[in-house]
Chain A
Amino acid sequence: MIEITKLSLCELIKNIKDKKISSYEITKAFVERSEKSKLLNSYITEDFKSALNKAKKFDEKPNYNLKLPGIPIAIKDLFCTFGVRTTAGSKILSNFIPSYESTVSKNMWNEGAILLGKLNCDEFAMGSSNETSFFGNVQNPISKNLVPGGSSGGSASALAANLTPATIGTDTGGSIRQPASFTGTVGLKPTYGSCSRYGIVAFASSLDQAGPMTKNVKDCALLHEVISSYDLKDSTSIDFKRKLYSKELSKNIKGKKIGIPKEYRVEGMPNEIEDLWSKGIEYVKGCGAEILEISLPYTNYALPTYYIVAPAEASSNLARYDGVKYGFRSEGKNLNDMYEKTRSEGFGNEVKRRIMIGTYVLSSGYYDAYYLKAQKIRRLIKNDFDQAYKKVDAILTPSTPSSAFKIGEKTNDPVSMYLNDIFTVPVNLAGLPAISIPAGLDKKGYPLGLQIIGKAFDEQSILNIAYAIEDNINFENNISDWWIK
């Protein structure tokens, strides 16, 4: 008997198309496993009953021409879903039910996918460990009391634990790639403008991008193909010719030039990660790619730049959660009192911290010194990549400077938490695509990821390089189902 929940997305699709398994059987398998996995706390809102009904309906009138025929998928709770509660991991939206659907999720439903439920995440996607969620910590299935990363922690956890065959997350500074790295899964942050932001609860508008999280590179290519679209409802969506990424997926990377940025050899990085990086370099060399040392001189400034730009935008984006129109409200004596109570009680500490940082850096008298300067450095960081891409086709780096850490280990040290995003943040600032793939385990047995950064709109190249590395590494997650009694 096949163990349904262990199959990859593409394998499930093949089984459905071959009429070996029905959508209902698949959905039931994931629902049952999800029911048994509550300890992981991956879900914020389950939509199992409705999912089973939709699966039945699909089986009654199956359409095998669709790209995700009858495939149940749980998604990060940052995507607004019609009629299904959408919280962004926050108390302030804990009762919010949208009357509309995000473009990215709609693209999946249009290709036959079925919503399983909404997955846990850091509050408003602000965090690197899923510990800022109002709905509690998420367990990494790799080991007990280990964070799954963040902010798409619930997505990574559910995917690695086989509670969903694939998922989507959002990545503002590493929120797809870091949790993918921490859970031994594949995560792609597409080029800014590739996936519509319409209907995604905004964190930092100029950095936010939705992307696929999957068990392997082929699944990733397919899901990206489904969710990426030009959308008139998002003014920053870009109208470019999108490829059939899964069809054009190829392990042939012969002659590709791959850059190794020397600035990414940061102080205090564990040897295991150095070794993994070297291993990765050997793999791509073995596939016939050419390795070139490159320099991205402004790398050191990326993190401080990010922690000015992102909170600035967030402070403004989150102003709409004021208790007036929807969501949580705490009654007050007057309007200002109501605002203060609602936002004090409705937001968690990390969100408040970032709203305050953002408000500060935009204040008159500080704007030029912080926000404006950060925007200038952001341009220089982008220039770094532009220069590098005159010589190379893609850039290979580690995904994170460490493997997953324990729950509670970094909650009182925000800067150490922020340092987790050191390799992922420059990519968002430059608007580039990047993929994280699992590449090995550290001595504790925790997964480590490699990141491949591409040219803007060249998702195909990094998918291909990832595909080739994946083939060489033969990575396998070692998960014991410890949370199932």
Chain B
Amino acid sequence: MKKDNFNYYIKRDSNKYEVIIGLEVHAQVLSNSKLFSSSPTKFGAEPNTQVNLVDAAFPGMLPVINEFCIKQAIKTGIGLKAQINRKSVFDRKNYFYADLPQGYQISQYKYPIVGEGKIILDMPYGQKEIGIERLHLEQDAGKSIHDIDPKHTLVDLNRSGVALMEIVSKPDLRSPDEVNVYIKKLRSIMRYLGTCDGNMQEGSLRADVNISVRAEGSKEFGTRCEIKNVNSIKFMQLAINYEANRQVDLLEDGKKIDQETRLYDTKKNQTRSMRSKEDAHDYRYFPDPDLLPLELKENFIEKINLEIPELPDEKKKRFIDKYNLSPYEANILVADKETSEYFEEVIKKSDIKLATNWITGELFALLNKKNLEITQSPISPQNLSKLINLIQNGTISGKIAKTVFELMIDSDKDPKIIVEDKGLKQESDPKELEKIVLKIIATNKDKVEQYKSGKEKLFGFFVGQVMKLSEGKANPKLANDILKKKLSK
């Protein structure tokens, strides 16, 4: 297969611009309680029901670090092949807002818990490494709701204090496609690790997108703009495309790009200025005196290391080496942890090649159509495995198998039982098949003549007739042999 070439440039006449993208992903830590308090973190609870005195910043309340969230951040760092910093510091980021009860957000500024790492992307033009700058822990804010009461803004503090990981990439991304693959790969790694559910609809994963453009071949970065808080991959891609074109247009007109923070308007598919660099907040970061620097012991990290499961890249390599899959097939099967587990369950007792085809073909199509996760698959891996074996040992043909598969959707019945109940077993008795073949020859004398006089294409017609009369149950290979023999007489 010929490899595609990278081809995302913004073109104007003879000028070609390269787009430079860096992402700050905010991933909600999968944890039952908040970063510095014991309040629950369940999504969709009644407003202000998951708030305690610490989250609402009552006088004299103090943050106490949640060890589980620390472990989750370290796990994620290990998944990103990153440096785990033995000492990190929690800082206060000071600003006023109604949904920020403390008047500051506890975050990590100079000394994050995780340092440099990387993510490997499989692009149509080959593998690409994206650098990770850092990962740090911080608190989420509450939510201001402006559209319920005509006169007042309402505040919901359920999210206040929920642990987030901010994962900052290096400016290594070059196209909306790479952003798509990057987010999916990052999400896949975190789901393997169980550190973030990656649910974008629920806001568990959102990103600030930094974009700049430069003439192709230039080594200098252009002035960047940051698009805040984009909450779907599609919107990220649209926003990047819009913003890159906007910047190129400015440059083409001989204008300067202002470094600023912008918002993406999903309805108009536009980005617009939120605040310029001059208006940027002065957050007055300083180490939070309520929290001591976080110092990690070697054995603490080692213990976490032992809990790290096989990750997508390693699993992919194993699938290729052990199961002889193509990199393409392996990629599809490992992208989602549950899919890879389903696959390995199916091939415990059935043919790998057939299993790969059936999972990536029929099963994926079914799940797609019904909008289901693989964990909700109406067909269990055990039964799919049995179906594949029925094909493998010649009990049914591939075509009949599709019929059986359809019947399995509603009941997830054992395919053997379906085959028996519905009489779908393949006809492999030569005598029975011969009867059918002779009947066809007898009723299509003209076609037989034509065939014999050289019109060999008609062979397909005869096969079709055999299948039709046998209601699809004829063993195709055997039917072919018999047909050939009888027609050559």
Chain A residues in 8 Å Cβ range of B60: 80, 98, 102, 197-202
- What's the minimum C-beta distance from B97 to chain A, rounded to whole angstroms? 8
B291–A362 touching, CB < 8 Å: no
B203 contacts A by Cβ under 8 Å:
no
Which of B17-25, B50-58, B240-248, B315-323 faces chain A? Answer: B50-58
**How distant is the Cα of A128 from the Cα of B94 in the complex, in angstroms?**
28
B58–A324 touching, CB < 8 Å: no
Which of A142-150, A280-288, A315-323 faces chain B? Answer: A315-323
Chain B residues in 8 Å Cβ range of A159: none
Chain A residues in 8 Å Cβ range of B282: 363-364
- What's the minimum C-beta distance from A385 to chain B, rounded to whole angstroms? 20
B59–A319 touching, CB < 8 Å: no
B98–A235 touching, CB < 8 Å: no
A206 contacts B by Cβ under 8 Å:
yes
B62–A325 touching, CB < 8 Å: no
**Which residues from 199 to 239 on chain A have a C-beta closer than 8 Å to any C-beta of chain B?**
199-202, 204-206, 232-236
**How distant is the Cα of A283 from the Cα of B272 in the complex, in angstroms?**
76
A320-B292 contact, Cβ under 8 Å, with A93-B59, A98-B59, A198-B62? no
**Which residues from 309 to 337 on chain A have a C-beta closer than 8 Å to any C-beta of chain B?**
312-313, 315-316, 318-320, 322, 324-326, 335
A197–B59 touching, CB < 8 Å: no
Chain B residues in 8 Å Cβ range of A102: 60
Interface string of A79-93 (1 = CB under 8 A from B): 010000010100001
A88–B59 touching, CB < 8 Å: yes
A316–B65 touching, CB < 8 Å: no
Chain A residues in 8 Å Cβ range of B58: 98, 100, 325-326
How many residues of B are counted as interface, with CB atoms below 8 angstroms from the partner's CB atoms? Answer: 30
B286–A235 touching, CB < 8 Å: no
A325's partner among B57, B92, B284 (CB-CB below 8 A) is B57
A405 contacts B by Cβ under 8 Å:
no
A324–B59 touching, CB < 8 Å: no
A99 contacts B by Cβ under 8 Å:
yes
Interface of A is mostly: loop
B96's partner among A199, A234, A235, A339 (CB-CB below 8 A) is A339
A320-B57 contact, Cβ under 8 Å, with A235-B291, A235-B292? yes
Chain B residues in 8 Å Cβ range of A313: 289
B264 contacts A by Cβ under 8 Å:
no
Chain B residues in 8 Å Cβ range of A202: 59-60, 290
**How distant is the Cα of A96 from the Cα of B58 in the complex, in angstroms?**
10
Chain B residues in 8 Å Cβ range of A464: none
B96–A319 touching, CB < 8 Å: yes
**How distant is the Cα of A359 from the Cα of B284 in the complex, in angstroms?**
8
Chain B residues in 8 Å Cβ range of A234: 62, 64
B98–A335 touching, CB < 8 Å: yes
B104's partner among A80, A197, A206, A319 (CB-CB below 8 A) is A319
A316-B101 contact, Cβ under 8 Å, with A236-B292, A335-B153? no
**How distant is the Cα of A128 from the Cα of B268 in the complex, in angstroms?**
59
A367 contacts B by Cβ under 8 Å:
yes
- What's the minimum C-beta distance from A334 to chain B, rounded to whole angstroms? 9
A235's partner among B64, B102, B155, B285 (CB-CB below 8 A) is B64
A371 contacts B by Cβ under 8 Å:
yes
**How distant is the Cα of A275 from the Cα of B96 in the complex, in angstroms?**
52
**How distant is the Cα of A371 from the Cα of B103 in the complex, in angstroms?**
19
Between A98, A102, A235, the greatest number of chain B beta carbons within 10 A of the residue's beta carbon is seen for A235
Chain A residues in 8 Å Cβ range of B94: 315-316, 319, 362
**How distant is the Cα of A100 from the Cα of B101 in the complex, in angstroms?**
18
Between B96, B101, B103, the greatest number of chain A beta carbons within 10 A of the residue's beta carbon is seen for B103
B63–A235 touching, CB < 8 Å: yes
**How distant is the Cα of A313 from the Cα of B92 in the complex, in angstroms?**
10
Interface string of B26-67 (1 = CB under 8 A from A): 000000000000000000000000000100111111111100
**How distant is the Cα of A205 from the Cα of B56 in the complex, in angstroms?**
18
**How distant is the Cα of A100 from the Cα of B53 in the complex, in angstroms?**
9
**Which residues from 301 to 355 on chain B have a C-beta closer than 8 Å to any C-beta of chain A?**
none
A319–B103 touching, CB < 8 Å: yes
- What's the minimum C-beta distance from A162 to chain B, rounded to whole angstroms? 29
Chain A residues in 8 Å Cβ range of B65: 235
**Which residues from 100 to 118 on chain B have a C-beta closer than 8 Å to any C-beta of chain A?**
101-104
A316-B64 contact, Cβ under 8 Å, with A99-B53, A235-B290? no
A204–B289 touching, CB < 8 Å: yes
Chain A residues in 8 Å Cβ range of B61: 198-199
Chain B residues in 8 Å Cβ range of A362: 94, 284-286
Chain A residues in 8 Å Cβ range of B92: 316
Chain A residues in 8 Å Cβ range of B292: 235-236
- What's the minimum C-beta distance from B172 to chain A, rounded to whole angstroms? 28
- What's the minimum C-beta distance from B326 to chain A, rounded to whole angstroms? 52
B291–A96 touching, CB < 8 Å: no
**How distant is the Cα of A315 from the Cα of B92 in the complex, in angstroms?**
11
- What's the minimum C-beta distance from A299 to chain B, rounded to whole angstroms? 23
Chain B residues in 8 Å Cβ range of A335: 97-98, 153
**How distant is the Cα of A359 from the Cα of B62 in the complex, in angstroms?**
21
- What's the minimum C-beta distance from B163 to chain A, rounded to whole angstroms? 16
B102–A320 touching, CB < 8 Å: yes
**How distant is the Cα of A371 from the Cα of B285 in the complex, in angstroms?**
11
B290–A205 touching, CB < 8 Å: yes
B286's partner among A99, A339, A367 (CB-CB below 8 A) is A367
**How distant is the Cα of A15 from the Cα of B21 in the complex, in angstroms?**
77
Interface string of A265-292 (1 = CB under 8 A from B): 0000000000000000000000000000
**Which residues from 357 to 397 on chain A have a C-beta closer than 8 Å to any C-beta of chain B?**
359, 362-364, 367, 371
- What's the minimum C-beta distance from B344 to chain A, rounded to whole angstroms? 43
A86–B59 touching, CB < 8 Å: yes
- What's the minimum C-beta distance from B98 to chain A, rounded to whole angstroms? 5
A312–B286 touching, CB < 8 Å: yes
- What's the minimum C-beta distance from A103 to chain B, rounded to whole angstroms? 9
**Which residues from 150 to 202 on chain B have a C-beta closer than 8 Å to any C-beta of chain A?**
153, 155
A316–B103 touching, CB < 8 Å: yes
B59–A201 touching, CB < 8 Å: yes
**How distant is the Cα of A371 from the Cα of B286 in the complex, in angstroms?**
9
A235-B62 contact, Cβ under 8 Å, with A319-B103, A320-B102, A322-B103? yes
Between B56, B62, B97, B292, the greatest number of chain A beta carbons within 10 A of the residue's beta carbon is seen for B62
Chain A residues in 8 Å Cβ range of B286: 312, 316, 362, 367, 371
B62's partner among A88, A197, A326 (CB-CB below 8 A) is A197
Chain A residues in 8 Å Cβ range of B284: 315-316, 359, 362-364, 367
Chain B residues in 8 Å Cβ range of A339: 96
B103–A233 touching, CB < 8 Å: no
- What's the minimum C-beta distance from B34 to chain A, rounded to whole angstroms? 15
Chain B residues in 8 Å Cβ range of A324: 98, 101, 155
**How distant is the Cα of A335 from the Cα of B155 in the complex, in angstroms?**
12
**Which residues from 260 to 291 on chain B have a C-beta closer than 8 Å to any C-beta of chain A?**
282, 284-286, 289-291
- What's the minimum C-beta distance from A12 to chain B, rounded to whole angstroms? 29
Chain A residues in 8 Å Cβ range of B53: 99-100
**How distant is the Cα of A346 from the Cα of B53 in the complex, in angstroms?**
22
**Which residues from 128 to 163 on chain B have a C-beta closer than 8 Å to any C-beta of chain A?**
153, 155
Chain B residues in 8 Å Cβ range of A88: 59
Chain B residues in 8 Å Cβ range of A318: 103
Chain B residues in 8 Å Cβ range of A363: 282, 284
Chain B residues in 8 Å Cβ range of A201: 59-60
- What's the minimum C-beta distance from A125 to chain B, rounded to whole angstroms? 12
Interface string of A423-449 (1 = CB under 8 A from B): 000000000000000000000000000
Q: Which residue of B lies closest to A93 (CB)?
A: B59
- What's the minimum C-beta distance from B36 to chain A, rounded to whole angstroms? 9
Q: Which residue of A lies closest to B281 (CB)?
A: A364
Q: Could you jot down 5 A-B contacts, CB within 8 Å?
A: A198-B62, A202-B59, A235-B64, A236-B292, A320-B103
Minimum-distance CB pairs A-B, first 9: A319-B103, A205-B289, A362-B284, A206-B289, A199-B60, A320-B57, A201-B59, A80-B60, A200-B60
* Further contacts, 9 of them, CB under 8 A, given A100-B53, A325-B101, A326-B58: A99-B53, A201-B60, A206-B289, A233-B62, A235-B65, A236-B290, A316-B284, A319-B96, A320-B102
